[in-house]
Amino acid sequence: MTDGHKLKFWRYLTLFFLCALPVFGQSINGELHLKVTDPSGLAVRCTVRFVSEANQYENIFTTDDAGNIAVQRLPYGVYGVQVEQPGFAPVSRSIEVRSAVPTNYTIGLELASANTTVTVTDAVTMIDPHRAGSVFEIGADLIENRPSSLPGRSVQDLVNSQPGWLYEGNAVLHPRGSEYQTEFVIDGIPLTDNRSPSFGPEIEADDIDSMSIYTAGIPAEYGRKMGGVVEVNTKRESQEGFHGQLVASGGSFDTAGGFAQIQDIWGKNVLGISADGDRTSRYLSPVVPKNYTNRGTTADFSVNYERDLTPSDRLSMSVRHELSRFELPNEQLQQAAGQRQNADNFETMGSISYQHVFSPNVVGNFRGMVRDNSNDLYSNALSTPIIASQYNYFREGYFKSTVSIHRGTQEWKAGVESDATFLHEKFSDTITDLNRFENGTPATFSFQANRPDLEQSVFVEDMIRLGKWTVSAGLRWDHYQLLVNQYAVSPRLSVSCYLQSAAMVVHASYDRVFQTPSFENILIASSPSLTSLNPSVLRLPVEPSHGDYYEGGLTKNFFDQFRLDVNVFRRVVNKFADDDRLLSTAVSFPIAFRKAIIYGTEGKIELPHWGKLSGFVSYSYTVGNAWFPVNGGLFLGDNATNATTQLTGHFPDSQDQRSTVRTRFRYQLLPRLWVAAGADYGSGTPFDFGGTIQQALAQYGNRS
């Protein structure tokens, strides 16, 4: 870093902390401590129902002998709380959860009279009047009653059901035209690597309690991968005693799976264990309709423990091991040659978190995580046009510390995080069909390298409620060091207005984003040794993307029965991230273009409950274009020549799907029996094939 850059860096950092003094920031989830008493103030053991239609949340709890309930990890919003106990008048309350600091609330019951009646409605929770930006919530009911999925896709399918998201290839999620820029946050721990079935194993959806999905108005707490953020809360029972769940599933393509979970709560302790396993003969999305060589298996095992050390201190620990083993689908020519390519992924992750309540208005959280991840590729001697093998693995260490402060109508939060990922890449290949490659391409090649990816950030946020207005403002500083050394300051702002007479919330947001490149195979793509693969090579460092996201929209309650969400968005991204493949292998690596502009609109009509009927209809319209020249990545042969000569113009980005329609409705026939129907339509994404029709037919066959 030059002296001028150092001076500019310290100026930005000083400005950052000066801005941080008056505003710290909001939290994503809160906690509610409820106490129920009788007219004399004594504790009452009773049943309490919590419901929030906006957050797709509904649960029933029983108070303990002291009349208390502690409900954790509640997404911000308005919750209807209903208490019914024989001998007392029913009570219905509306409670807002707006802070990471536990919210304390007491409900006093009155003795029932002969003519006591109560009218309870969930309409007050249909929309959140103080939600500053757009966020789609997926609750326990939708997760539990979701359509069945192929192994490795249960979580991705849930995310893909929301407006603005689409699949490309092997269940790779693309939020609003972004490539590989989805961040999963599992119980507060961010995972920024590719979580699609062909790259890594998933956490089974049966192990998840709720999800919050952001594509705009993203809190400054989140960064690095900013196409979309999926916040995931795993299951945790609140009632004392032993709990268990067993799920079995099956379907076409020899698909079968099982999931089991047990949880025991005693005193101040919570111990949970879960495990699942799945298999199928259609693991990935083959180009050839005949589905050659496509078997796959997945497994997941986790143990978690939580203890309230004191009324102000909570300790949580978890260990999770996941694996996937699968075949890569063959094209017709590869199948005829006898090719067999297999891949696997193993991941072991341990995390620990500690929460301390400093005062009734201040709470601190400390989280740490260590994980090992390996990704392997094997090819037999009959593979064509190339025999490839790969052994990639990384070890990641992550730490995050935050403090949240509740003060009047403000929710402040500040935090620091550090992530160190030690990358190791090993690749080798032998070409078996030289006719498929340019002259001069060597018959064999091998590569091995390792390097650390070091990233740090500091953030501050504030959520302010001013009557019918809500403002969420944040500021984030990021530092990234792998192939390049860069830092950035990113402001975030969301504003909403609640129009009570129209039962509507209108909102607008601006997000400045700093997106780090995908690290999958980034070392081989940047290695000077690749000059041996072709006389013509263009090799540019892949730098982080910088972008501006804009969104405006509304949420409206109609007749207290269904909800409409409409969003209009525009994204302008410099150094737009994409990906390419090495030779003719399944090894992908990041590339980048000068810029991209993506815009569109989304709409969703949701019917939470109308008698026994529930469901939704959504529509997304997206237009995405990327501009030359390329400014990052590896290009060989003709691609290198084109990359150096194509300096102007634009082209549709690979997720330019103009129209996407999704719908699903469910009807509850009996308490434990329901039927559902759904539909999904996409107008298609761009596809580039440089060969002839005859070559395409030889490789992929007829569509029919």
Transcribe 448-512 into DSSP letters.
Answer: EEEEEEEEEEEEEEEEEEETTEEEEEEEEEEEEESSSEEEEEEEEEEEEEEEGGGTEEEEEEEEE
Whether residue 413 is predicted with pLDDT greater than 90 in this model: the reply is yes
Say what the pLDDT of residue 17 is: 39
Domain match, 194 and 63 both: no
- Examine residue 530 and state whether it is found in any structural domain, yes or no: yes
Whether residue 683 is predicted with pLDDT greater than 50 in this model: the reply is yes
Domain match, 114 and 155 both: no
pLDDT digits (tens, 9 = 90+) for 249-301: 998 899 999 999 999 999 889 999 999 999 999 999 888 888 999 999 999 99
pLDDT digits (tens, 9 = 90+) for 205-248: 899 988 999 999 999 999 999 999 999 998 887 778 888 999 99
Domain match, 305 and 376 both: yes
Answer yes or no: are the C-beta atoms of 4 and 479 closer than 8 Å: no
Among candidate residues 63, 98, 125, the one where a domain is terminated: 125
Lowest mean pLDDT among 46-50, 211-215, 344-348, 423-427: 46-50
Supply the CATH number for residue 7's domain.
Answer: 2.60.40.10
Q: What pLDDT band is residue 687 in, cutting at 50, 70 and 90? A: confident
- The tokens 């999958």 sit on which residue? 520
Per-residue pLDDT, averaged over 139-155, amounts to: 87
Among candidate residues 62, 90, 125, the one where a domain is terminated: 125
Answer yes or no: are the C-beta atoms of 393 and 375 closer than 8 Å: yes
Among candidate residues 125, 158, 181, the one where a domain is terminated: 125
Per-residue pLDDT, averaged over 649-671, amounts to: 89
Say what the pLDDT of residue 15 is: 42
Domain match, 641 and 520 both: yes
Domain match, 196 and 302 both: yes
Give the C-alpha separation, 467 to 250, whole Å: 51
Say what the pLDDT of residue 537 is: 85
Per-residue pLDDT, averaged over 450-462, amounts to: 96
- Residue 10: beta bridge partners? none
Give the C-alpha separation, 631 to 540, whole Å: 7
Supply the CATH number for residue 279's domain.
Answer: 2.40.170.20
Domain match, 626 and 579 both: yes
Whether residue 188 is predicted with pLDDT greater than 60 in this model: the reply is yes
Domain match, 94 and 149 both: no
Q: What pLDDT band is residue 20 in, cutting at 50, 70 and 90? A: very low
Other CB atoms closer than 10 Å to residue 16's CB: what's the count?
A: 16
Task: Please tell me whether the peptide bond between 219 and the residue prior to it is cis, using omega within 30 degrees of 0.
Answer: no
- Examine residue 246 and state whether it is found in any structural domain, yes or no: yes
Give the C-alpha separation, 177 to 660, whole Å: 13
Task: Express as a percent the part of the chain with pLDDT over 70.
Answer: 93
- Examine residue 621 and state whether it is found in any structural domain, yes or no: yes
Answer yes or no: are the C-beta atoms of 273 and 292 closer than 8 Å: no
Say what the pLDDT of residue 77 is: 82
Give the C-alpha separation, 649 to 179, whole Å: 20
Whether residue 114 is predicted with pLDDT greater than 70 in this model: the reply is no
Answer yes or no: are the C-beta atoms of 396 and 369 closer than 8 Å: yes
Answer yes or no: are the C-beta atoms of 381 and 414 closer than 8 Å: no
Domain match, 84 and 228 both: no
Lowest mean pLDDT among 222-236, 427-441, 474-488: 427-441
Beta-sheet strand order (sheet of 47-52): 57-62, 47-52, 77-84, 91-97
- Examine residue 131 and state whether it is found in any structural domain, yes or no: no
Q: Is 424 exposed, middle or buried (0-12, 13-18, 19+ CB in 10 A)?
A: middle
User: How many folded domains does the chain comprise?
Assistant: 2
How, if at all, do strands 228-234 and 208-214 pair? antiparallel
Q: For residue 678, what are the contacts with CB-CB under 8 A and spacing of at least 6?
A: 147, 662, 663, 664, 665
Say what the pLDDT of residue 124 is: 67
- Examine residue 130 and state whether it is found in any structural domain, yes or no: no
Say what the pLDDT of residue 133 is: 79
Domain match, 348 and 207 both: yes
Whether residue 61 is predicted with pLDDT greater than 70 in this model: the reply is yes
- Examine residue 520 and state whether it is found in any structural domain, yes or no: yes
Domain membership of residue 508 as a residue range: 136-700
Q: For residue 238, what are the contacts with CB-CB under 8 A and spacing of at least 6?
A: 59, 61, 69, 70, 71, 72, 265
